[in-house]
Amino acid sequence: GCFANAGIGARGGRFETLGTEDWHRVLRVNLDGAFFTLRAAARHMLEQGDGGVLVGTASVAAIEGAARNQHYAATKGGLISMMRALAVEYARHGIRAHSILPGWIATDMTARGQADPAFQEMVSKRVPMRRWGEPADFGGIAIYLMSAASRYHTGDTLVIDGGYTLF
């Protein structure tokens, strides 16, 4: 299996002032990086002939309005579409493909928000589980996706956000 999990955010500003270089930098890392990683993995899986699993880490920003963060949201929405297309194209080869959409997860990328007490409180109030996610919260889904328990499961968009998008 292969998890394409790299990504960057960018300090968002008003859409009409978003710089072209900022737009392209986020696209290069989040979408091009996933493309090159997943393409190499798919080639390897096809050569091996034993199937496999391709997973792209998107974001709930892809399915919610991400004001002042359109470049990030666009890359994550594009990743979801790419994973769905891969699921259809490679199913006959035993290769499954999924997107995982994290919500607010305590990582280096979200450290600035976590350090801001007002932002921390705003996010926590909106998460029904009343906490930020931790990287360890993804272990169970990774095990499931890589196991035979998910052998008839492909093309899904799995939201892991403590209920954030429900509230």
**pLDDT tens track for 26-39:** 999 999 999 999 99
Q: What is the pLDDT of residues 47-87, one digit of tens each?
A: 999 999 999 999 999 999 888 999 999 999 999 999 999 99
144 given a catalytic annotation = no
Per the prediction, the chain carries an average pLDDT of 94
Does 132 have pLDDT greater than 80?
Answer: yes
Statement: residue 11 has pLDDT above 80: no
* Type of residue numbered 100: I
Choosing from 76, 90, 99, 164, the catalytic residue is 76
Which CATH number among 2.60.40.10, 3.40.50.720, 3.20.20.70, 3.30.460.10 corresponds to the domain 2-166? 3.40.50.720
Q: Please tell me the predicted confidence (pLDDT) of residue 9.
A: 84
Task: Say how far apart CA 120 and CA 86 lie, in whole Å.
Answer: 36
What is the domain partition of the chain in residue ranges?
2-166
Q: Among residues 59, 90, 99, 164, which one is catalytic?
A: 59
Which pTM value belongs to this model?
0.93
pLDDT tens digits for range 78-123: 999 999 999 999 999 999 999 999 999 998 888 888 899 999 889 9
125 in active site: no
Q: Which residues, including other chains, have CB under 8 Å from residue 138's CB and lie 6 or more apart? A: 100, 102, 160
